[in-house]
Structure 1
Amino acid sequence: MKTYIKTTWQITKYILIHFVIIMLYNFGAGAFYGVKMAMNDQLDEIESGIEAFLAPHTSISIIIAAIGAFLIYRYIMKRKNLNLYEECRFKKLSRGQTLASLSTGVSILSLSLLILGMTSFMFQESLDTHINNTHSLISVHPLLLIISVGIAAPFIEEILFRGLVFRELEQKSTIAITIIIQAIIFGAYHLNLAHGIMTTIMGIFLGLSLYWTGSIWAPILIHLTNNLLSVVLDLLGYGIFIETYPLADKAICGTAVLIVLPLSILYLYRSRITWEPKKVDEKTEIEKI
């Protein structure tokens, strides 16, 4: 029982590090905005302008949290006499695995949209909140959006969930349970029911890609490609294309979900390696934080 409590604490600690950095930055930005408006005698306009003010700061907080959390995670591992890159399995992928990961990331975006559409019947309010949050992010400078949502977020989230969380879980449970639990935690972390269901399913694919390749680069490439493509399509106004050519959009999504995704997943499965679980000797791992 004691070991499970310790594992839960370790996972919670890793998640809180990333979450708290984001919250502290956003709180500071919001406080600065409030003081600025008060000094200009514009208190009555705070509510109407806060969303526009915080939009770019949300992207900045994602970047700062990614950098800050990464440095702290590396420090924690170093204090334990461990190497973050080794513990998170930063291993080279083959060319085929790299291409399969990229195509999985592209095609899984269509699956994500399909899942969101299905959940909208049950969780419309939650989906509307997710859409509004997405639209507020899109209003910032394209480069800032690409760096934050397209690159920084997937990179640190994979280190967190497919790296550190996965590492803790696999030491105490089977690989199947590990993949399921880390996916559920990944979905819950997004704090939105509709989006959470989608990211939970995505988390299973990401966990499987790690298990089959033995490298965190596989889920990083899948996640990064998915986010980057989503951002670029939104910036290019893909919604207009959907409204103008709905049949073409359905054909593209159908091809991605029914052909490209299964073939990509099949390749990753067939090229799978022998899994090497992380077994930590608790006597030699020095816990200092």
Structure 2
Amino acid sequence: MAKPQSKLFRFFKPIKSSKERNWVLASTLGFGFLILLVFLTSLLADRLIGPKDVNNPILKEILLSSHISEIACVLAYCISTPLLEETVYRGFLLSSLASTMEWHRAVVISSAIFSAAHFSGENFVQLFIVGCILGCSYCWTGNLKSPIVIHSLYNAVTLVITFLS
């Protein structure tokens, strides 16, 4: 059971066990590692299950319908969603879990919840890996800047792949 939070908005503060570290370095390393792991899991899935279509027809239709919808989609997908999800899953959930258990267990649990909340069975493993990298970057830096940047870049890459496919 999580300890009650004594202060409102405690989740915006760094985790006690972490020191403030370079979030730009963490973002760069985290994003590079994320792309590598997603690529490797995609290769493995292609070999085990067979290739899957990366095209999201609904998202592609929104992107191609007008410039306004394209801009709105980019803003929602690359800015609003990462801000909201990182505040909830890393800032609130991971911080709360880390106050009651070891940080690496908290990362695993919050990543599993993050992955399950996306309701994508075929992408569960990749989303779990994404959640783990975002959680580790949060624990390492002690703030939400790094996971927000990594999440935004990941969503931008996903959007570009969808647009080009």
Between the two proteins, the alignment pairs up a number of residues equal to 154
Residue 137 of structure 1 corresponds to 59
Residue 157 of structure 2 corresponds to 229
Indicate which of 122, 129, 133 corresponds to 1:201. Answer: 129
Contact 1:105 1:225 in 2 (8 A): yes
What displacement does 1:174 show? 1.4
Pairs within 5 Å for 1:1-289: 4=1, 7=2, 81-82=7-8, 84=9, 86-89=10-13, 96-102=22-28, 104-105=30-31, 108-122=34-48, 131=54, 134-140=56-62, 141-235=69-163, 237=164, 239=165
Gaps of 5+ in 2: 63-68
Write the deviation string for residues 6-30 of structure 1: whole angstroms up to 9, x where unpaired: x4xx9xxxxxxxxxxxxxxxxxxxx
What displacement does 1:89 show? 2.9
Q: Which has the higher contact order (CA 8 A, sep 6+)?
A: 2
Which has the greater radius of gyration?
1
Instruction: Return the alpha-carbon distance in structure 2 between the equivalents of residues 199 and 88 of structure 1.
Output: 23
Instruction: Return the alpha-carbon distance in structure 1 between the equivalents of residues 13 and 159 of structure 2.
Output: 27
TM-score for the superposition, normalised by structure 2? 0.76
Paired amino acid for 1:212: W
Contact 1:120 1:194 in 2 (8 A): no
Instruction: Return the alpha-carbon distance in structure 2 between the equivalents of residues 88 and 164 of structure 1.
Output: 8
Contact 1:210 1:216 in 2 (8 A): yes
Pick closer, same or farther for the CA change 1:103–1:135 going to 2, 3 Å.
farther
Contact 2:138 2:147 in 1 (8 A): yes
TM-score for the superposition, normalised by structure 1? 0.46
Contact 2:97 2:106 in 1 (8 A): yes
What displacement does 1:88 show? 2.5
Instruction: Return the alpha-carbon distance in structure 2 between the equivalents of residues 193 and 116 of structure 1.
Output: 14
Contact 1:182 1:203 in 2 (8 A): yes
Instruction: Return the alpha-carbon distance in structure 2 between the equivalents of residues 223 and 189 of structure 1.
Output: 16
Contact 1:109 1:230 in 2 (8 A): no
Contact 2:114 2:128 in 1 (8 A): yes
Pick closer, same or farther for the CA change 1:89–1:217 going to 2, 3 Å.
farther
Contact 1:183 1:207 in 2 (8 A): yes
Paired amino acid for 2:151: H
Is the partner of 2:88 in helix, strand or coil?
helix
Kindly report the root-mean-square deviation, in angstroms, between the aligned alpha carbons of the 2 structures. 3.0
Instruction: Return the alpha-carbon distance in structure 2 between the equivalents of residues 222 and 113 of structure 1.
Output: 16
Instruction: Return the alpha-carbon distance in structure 2 between the equivalents of residues 199 and 119 of structure 1.
Output: 14
What displacement does 1:121 show? 4.9
Calculate percent identity across the aligned residue pairs.
23
Residue 269 of structure 1 corresponds to none
Instruction: Return the alpha-carbon distance in structure 2 between the equivalents of residues 99 and 196 of structure 1.
Output: 27
Pick closer, same or farther for the CA change 1:97–1:167 going to 2, 3 Å.
closer
Instruction: Return the alpha-carbon distance in structure 1 between the equivalents of residues 98 and 30 of structure 2.
Output: 24
Is the partner of 1:139 in helix, strand or coil?
helix
